[in-house]
Chain A
Amino acid sequence: MNQIKDIEQLKKIATQVRRDIVRQVHGCQSGHPGGSLGCTDLLVALFFNIMKHNNQFNMIGEGEDLFFLSNGHISPVIYSVLARSGYFDVSELATFRKLNSRLQGHPTTHEHLPGIRMSAGSLGQGLSVAIGAAISKKLKNDSCMVYALMGDGEQNEGQIWEAVQFAPHHKVDNLIAIVDVNGQQIDGPTEQVMSNRNLANKYSAFGWQIVYMDGNNMADVVTSLNKAKELCGKGVPVVIMMKTEMGAGVDFMMGSHKWHGVAPNDEQLQSALAQLEETLGDY
C-alpha cells in the first residue's frame, strides 16, 4: 500500500470512514457507532500511513505489519478502513450485519473476509493473539510489527492481564498495544462501572513502555505511532494510551456512553452526515 503522508488527506479519509460507519449502522439499525467513530483516526493512520500491508490479502502476512482488533464490536470502522484500502469493494459495506454477509456483527475469519485474521467479539482475547503473532514473526525472522487495539472497558477482562504480564517477561518488543481510553462502557462511565484507576501505571508496573496519544487529532496520532515504533526493538513491549471521545465527529453522539451500541434513525443519520463531508464518495 502507498503511504499517505499528508495529514489533511488522512483527515479527509477519516471523514469518509465516519460517514461509512454511521451509514452501515443505520442500514441495519444495529451495531456500535460510538467506539467506531472514536477509533477512526487511529485506524486511518495505521492503514494509510503507518503499516506496511498488502490489500491482496493472505492470512500469514509474511513481510507485512499485522493489525488485530480485540474490541470487535467496533467492526464498522475496520470494515470501512479495509474497504477503503482496497481489500474488498466498498459496495459490500451495505451488507453489514445482514444475512449471508461477510461483514458479520463482529469481525470473523469464518466468512473469509479479506483483512481479518482473527474472530473478535468476546472481549479480552486480542492482545494474547497479537502477542502470539509477534512471537511467530520473530521466530520466522520477519522484522515487521504487530498492532493490537483494545477498549478501556475491555481492560476489566482477566485475560488482558495474563497477556500484560506475559509480553514483558518474554521481551515481545515487536508489538504495539493500543488502549482506546474513551472512559465509557455499556453500563456507563468506566470510572463508575469498574474503574481502571491509573491504567498507565498498571501497565508500567507490569513492565511496559507507555506512549500517550490524542486519538482524535490526526497529526498527534501519526506522531505518537511513530514514537511508539521508535521504542520497539529494545526488549520491552509498548502500549499507547489513546485518549478518544466516543462518537468523535458527530456532535450528538459525543460525551456519553449512550451511543455505544445504538443506531441512528433517519433524521439522526441526516444530522450526522451533514457534519461529515463526503470526500471519497459514499458506497
Chain B
Amino acid sequence: MKKYTYTEKKDTRSGFGAGMTELGRTNPDVVTLCADLVGSLKIDTFIKENPQRFIQCGIAEANMIGIAAGLSIVGHIPFATTFANFGSGRVYDQIRQSVAYSNKNVKIAVSHAGLTLGEDGATHQILEDIGLMKMLPGMTVINPCDYNQTKAATIAAANYEGPVYLRFGRPVVPVFTDAEQTFEIGKAWLMNEGTDVTIIATGHLVWEAVQACEQLAEMGINAELINIHTIKPLDEEAILTSVSKTGCVVTCEEHNRLGGLGDSVAQVLIKNNPLPQEYIAVDDSFGESGTPAQLMEKYGLDAAHIVKAVEKVIKRKKAN
C-alpha cells in the first residue's frame, strides 16, 4: 500500500476559500455571491480584497442563482455559494432553467454537504445533491477529498467554461494530497495499485478508503484505490481498466446510495463489464444530529465498513 500521511487537518471549505483568494488575485472576471453564509464558506479574504466583486444576496438562494446566471451572460465568472442543501435541492428549477438549460458559465460552490456537517441534523444534511446535479445535462459535478484538492478544484472550475457544481464540507479532515497539484476535471486519480478489489471513493470518503486499504493490506488483501473527484463527467476508462484487473468494486460516497457515484459506476459496469459491486453510501435515509465521526460510523461510511464491504464483494467475486 502506497503510504499517505498528513501533518494537519483542515476543512475542505477552507480549501475553497483559499482557491477563491487566489482567483480574486489572478482572475478579474471572477465574482462571488453568497446567501448570508460568508463565514461558513471561508470567503472573507476574497471579499476583503475584492469588495466590489462580492455580491451579498441575503437568505434568498433562488434569486442568487438567477443573479449568477445574469452575471455570466455579460462575461463574469460567478461563484454562487451557500450550503449544499440550499444550493441544490432548494433551487433545483432555477439551476435547471437559468444555468444548465441556458448553458451558463456559473459555478455553484457549496459547503456542508452530506452527513458530516454534524449537529445541525437532517434538514441541512443533503444526501441527494450529487444525484440531482448529475441528472442535469451539461452539468459538471465535483466532490474533492481534502483541503488541497478542493483549492485546486476551485481554480480548475474557474478555468473551465460551463456550469459546475462543486461540493465540499464542514469538518476538518486530514490534508494528504499535494499542495501544488494540477486538477484535471474528469480525470480519476489512481492512488494505489492493487489486484484483489477496486475501491472507488469520492469526497470525505477518500481518507476513509485510504485507511481501509491499509487495514486490508494487513489482512493480505491488495486493494486498488481510485479517487473519483469528478462524478460527472465520469472517468469510465480508469474504472474499466481497473476492474478488468481486480474483478470487483466497492464505491464509497457521502450520499444516498440512490443516484450517486455508486450508481454512475454501476452503469459503466452494466454496459461494459458486469462485475460484483458493493455500495458504501447512506441506505436511502435522512441523517440526524451527532458528531461527524458518530454519524459516519452509524450510517456505515467509515473505514471499518469499507473493509467489510470489500470482504463481501471479494466473496461474491469468488462465488461467480
List the interface of chain A (C-beta within 8 A of B).
59-62, 66, 68, 108-110, 117-122, 124-137, 139-140, 142, 158-159, 162-163, 165-166, 169-170
Q: Which of B92-100, B176-184, B223-231 contacts A (4 or more CB under 8 A)?
A: B92-100
Minimum distance in angstroms from A29 CB to a CB of chain B: 25
Q: With the chains together, A227 CA to B308 CA distance in Å?
A: 72
Minimum distance in angstroms from B49 CB to a CB of chain A: 15
How many of B's residues come within 8 Å of A, CB to CB? 31
Minimum distance in angstroms from B237 CB to a CB of chain A: 29
B75 touches A140 (CB 8 A): yes
B63 touches A119 (CB 8 A): no
B70 touches A128 (CB 8 A): yes
Closest residue to B63 on the A side, CB-wise? A162
Q: A125-B66, A128-B70, A132-B69 are in contact. Are A119 and B102 (CB under 8 A)?
A: yes
Majority SS at the chain B contact face: helix
B63 touches A128 (CB 8 A): yes
Q: A120-B97, A132-B68, A136-B70 are in contact. Are A166 and B76 (CB under 8 A)?
A: no
Q: With the chains together, A62 CA to B76 CA distance in Å?
A: 12
Closest residue to B28 on the A side, CB-wise? A139
B53 touches A139 (CB 8 A): yes
Q: Give B62-76 interface residues, CB cut-off 8 Å to A.
A: 62-76
List the interface of chain B (C-beta within 8 A of A).
31, 52-53, 55, 57-58, 60, 62-76, 78, 93-94, 96-98, 101-103
- The interface residues of chain A lying within 8 Å CB-to-CB of B58 are 162, 165-166, 169
Q: With the chains together, A61 CA to B73 CA distance in Å?
A: 8
Q: Which of B55, B62, B69, B78 contacts A162 (CB 8 A)?
A: B62
Q: A122-B93, A129-B66, A131-B67 are in contact. Are A137 and B74 (CB under 8 A)?
A: yes
Minimum distance in angstroms from B32 CB to a CB of chain A: 12
Q: Which of B31, B64, B65, B73 contacts A118 (CB 8 A)?
A: B73
A165 touches B60 (CB 8 A): yes
Minimum distance in angstroms from A71 CB to a CB of chain B: 13
B66 touches A127 (CB 8 A): yes
A121 touches B103 (CB 8 A): no
Q: With the chains together, A209 CA to B130 CA distance in Å?
A: 42
- The interface residues of chain A lying within 8 Å CB-to-CB of B102 are 108-110, 118-119
Q: Which of B63, B76, B97, B101 contacts A163 (CB 8 A)?
A: B63
- The interface residues of chain A lying within 8 Å CB-to-CB of B63 are 128, 131, 159, 162-163, 166
Give 7 CB contacts A-B under 8 Å: A68-B70, A119-B101, A120-B97, A126-B66, A131-B67, A133-B73, A158-B62
Closest residue to A137 on the B side, CB-wise? B74
Minimum distance in angstroms from B282 CB to a CB of chain A: 30
Q: With the chains together, A133 CA to B68 CA distance in Å?
A: 9
- The interface residues of chain A lying within 8 Å CB-to-CB of B53 are 139
Q: With the chains together, A60 CA to B104 CA distance in Å?
A: 12
Looking at A60, A110, A122, A128, which has the most chain B CB atoms within 10 Å of its CB?
A128
A170 touches B55 (CB 8 A): yes
Q: With the chains together, A166 CA to B56 CA distance in Å?
A: 9
